[in-house]
């Protein structure tokens, strides 16, 4: 039994996450039976749900319930960074947030005056949005949306994403940008810059209210990218 599992707190969070959704519909969304969801809500589970179920709860949550809150109540996180290091940061962004981030990025891209083509999202990558350019120093620009969770999970996600990038087949003419609406998360990425990744990397801060880019900071550039290119391919 997980001694850190707080049944009452977890049940309260799940109840908030369900919100006005019919319980049987929410059970279907998180891929469990209505009976299993009822056991969660009534504090009848001896052990917390799996990470996968918690991820689905966060994906479909109402009332601002976050993955970090659910993990903590379930006892999976975050007693130590050793614990969090074993957990990949899942995609906890809801569709509304993804749409506002994508719309903001595409609007900003249109303003730089370089024709681009959106690429189809690939399920085997961490990229939420990718665009390609027919000509120029940057051939592809990939965007990864960040999760605005606790400081510990932000740091864990940063390490996880950089670890994944080590094994990606990325050319020196591709660019990867991390996108967040959290100033704390933006600052974390600007301070913890990888020294052993020869990639074009940046972090972008979005203003949720105005749906605009507040700032973009380049973290690293390859030898094929000039100072002029950096200015040209900055939002």
Predicted pLDDT at 193: 87
Instruction: Please name the helix (run of DSSP H) or strand (run of DSSP E) that holds residue 118, with its range, or none.
Output: strand 117-118
Do 214 and 205 meet the contact criterion of CB atoms below 8 Å apart?
yes
Q: What is the pLDDT of residue 135?
A: 87
Q: Are strands 174-180 and 140-145 parallel, antiparallel or unpaired?
A: parallel
Share of the chain above pLDDT 70, in %: 88
Is pLDDT above 90 for 176? Answer: yes
For 83, list phi and psi in degrees, rounded to 5.
-65, -45
CA distance 85 to 126: 17
d(CA 213, CA 217) in angstroms, rounded, equals 11
Instruction: Report the C-alpha gap between 194 and 204 in whole angstroms.
Output: 17
Residue-wise pLDDT tens digits, 74-119: 876 543 333 433 344 444 566 777 788 888 999 899 888 889 998 8
Q: What is the mean pLDDT of residues 170-181?
A: 94
Cα–Cα distances in Å, from 130 out to 5, 90, 162? Answer: 39, 19, 18
Q: Could you tell me if 177 and 204 are in contact, meaning their C-beta atoms sit under 8 angstroms apart? A: yes
Mean pLDDT of 146-161: 79
pTM: 0.62
Chain mean pLDDT for the chain: 84
pLDDT at 226 over 90: yes
What is the separation of C-alpha 96 from the centre of its chain, rounded to a whole number of angstroms? 13
pLDDT band with cut points at 50, 70 and 90 for residue 1: very low
pLDDT at residue 93, as a whole number: 65
């Amino acid at each position: 039994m997980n001694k850190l599992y707080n049944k009452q707190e977890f049940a309260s969070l799940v109840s908030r996450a369900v919100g006005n959704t019919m319980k049987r519909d929410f059970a279907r969304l998180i891929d469990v039976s209505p009976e299993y969801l009822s056991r969660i809500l009534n504090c009848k589970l001896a052990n917390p749900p799996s990470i996968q179920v918690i991820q689905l709860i966060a994906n479909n949550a109402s009332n601002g319930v976050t993955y970090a809150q659910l993990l903590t109540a379930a006892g999976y996180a975050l007693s130590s960074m050793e614990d969090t290091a074993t957990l990949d940061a899942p995609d906890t962004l809801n569709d509304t947030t993804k749409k506002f981030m994508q719309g903001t990025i595409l609007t900003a891209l249109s303003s730089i005056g370089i024709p681009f083509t959106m690429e189809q999202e690939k399920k085997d990558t961490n990229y939420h949005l990718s665009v390609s350019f027919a000509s120029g120093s940057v051939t592809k620009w990939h965007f990864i949306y960040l999760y605005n969770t606790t400081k510990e999970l932000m740091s864990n996600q940063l390490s996880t994403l950089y670890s994944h990038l080590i094994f990606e087949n990325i050319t020196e003419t591709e660019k990867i940008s991390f996108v967040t609406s959290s100033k704390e998360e933006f600052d974390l990425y600007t301070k913890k810059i990888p020294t052993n990744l020869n990639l074009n990397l940046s972090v972008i801060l979005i203003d949720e209210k105005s749906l605009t880019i507040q700032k973009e900071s380049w973290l690293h550039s390859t030898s094929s990218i000039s100072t002029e290119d950096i200015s040209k391919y900055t939002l």
